[in-house]
């Protein structure tokens, strides 16, 4: 009889065991919050040539995404002495927050860049005017 009681205790414990584990499962829901402003992301930035010659054309490939709100612009700037000068701007009107985008820019190396390190900056602007930026440096041959 004592063995039978122990047997039933074990069976009862095994029956309640699944209920104990289900209480530990975390729900796969994102917390509720309002996005006031979202920052896009420049995921990758590459240049076709990092040591160009004067007069050559460098192609920049930029992968961007903004998952909480649409991006509105992608700017290519040249940074000299802490000052950014806009070289080209691409505007977006139909942004899908579920996609990433690959954009290309071209820049012809000017004579005044000979023998210098040139910093090219890319800035992604979202609908709330939040920005993210990423720089790439080219070493122009003398």
Q: What is the pLDDT of residues 23-72, one digit of tens each?
A: 555 556 666 655 556 789 999 999 999 999 999 999 999 999 998 899 99
In angstroms and rounded to an integer, the radius of gyration of the C-alpha atoms of the chain is 28
Residue 68 tokens, joined: 């909480």
> pTM for the full model?
0.73
The H or E element that residue 18 is part of is helix 2-22
How does DSSP classify residue 90?
Answer: E
9 confidence band (pLDDT: 50, 70, 90)? confident
């Amino acid at each position: 009889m004592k063995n039978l009681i122990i047997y039933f205790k074990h069976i009862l414990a095994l029956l309640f065991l699944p209920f104990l584990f289900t209480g530990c499962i975390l729900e796969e829901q994102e917390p509720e919050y309002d996005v006031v402003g979202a920052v896009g992301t420049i995921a990758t930035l590459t240049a076709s040539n990092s040591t160009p010659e004067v007069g050559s054309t460098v192609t920049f490939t930029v992968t961007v995404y903004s998952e909480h709100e649409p991006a509105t612009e992608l700017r290519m700037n040249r940074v000299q002495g802490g000052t950014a000068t806009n070289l080209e701007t691409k505007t977006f009107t139909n942004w899908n927050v579920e996609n990433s985008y690959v954009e290309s820019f071209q820049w012809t190396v000017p004579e005044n860049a000979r023998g210098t390190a040139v910093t090219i900056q890319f800035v992604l602007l979202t609908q709330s005017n939040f920005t993210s930026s990423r720089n790439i440096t080219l070493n122009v041959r003398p």
